[in-house]
Amino acid sequence: MRELTDEEKATLEASVDTRGEQKHMLVVEDKMGIALPDARKDRAMYYGGLEYDAKPRHILVDDEDYWIWNYEESEKYHEERWGEFEWEETNIFQSYLGPLED
């Protein structure tokens, strides 16, 4: 898990509304998920649509509380509720990770 690079922060600022939680996220290895600080969880779930993607899992990063949304948990959550799963259609990807690909 890692913090965003300066280049990634600039990409986000150019492509999405960064008043949200994007600049506070950590990126899971191979861009297969995100983690957000505890204080940002509820806003990300409501305003960022993450409540539809998966139930977040609590983790500690450098003794700080974070919540993680990742590919595997999202896939399981979606398939149980709606059937077919497409990672690129999740809010995790579209609002948080996808813009980093540009």
Yes or no: say if 51 and 45 are a contact pair by the CB < 8 Å rule: yes
Q: Please report which confidence band the pLDDT of residue 35 belongs to, taking 50, 70 and 90 as the band edges.
A: very high
Residues 22-51 have a mean pLDDT of 90
Q: What is the overall mean pLDDT for the chain?
A: 89
Residue 99 to residue 22: CA distance in whole angstroms = 10
Residue 60 to residue 76: CA distance in whole angstroms = 23
Is the confidence at residue 18, as pLDDT, over 80?
no
Residue 86 to residue 10: CA distance in whole angstroms = 27
pLDDT of 19 reads 60
pLDDT digits (tens, 9 = 90+) for 59-76: 999 999 999 999 999 999
Residue 53, helix vs strand vs coil: coil
pLDDT of 100 reads 86
Q: What are the extents of the domains in the chain?
A: 2-92
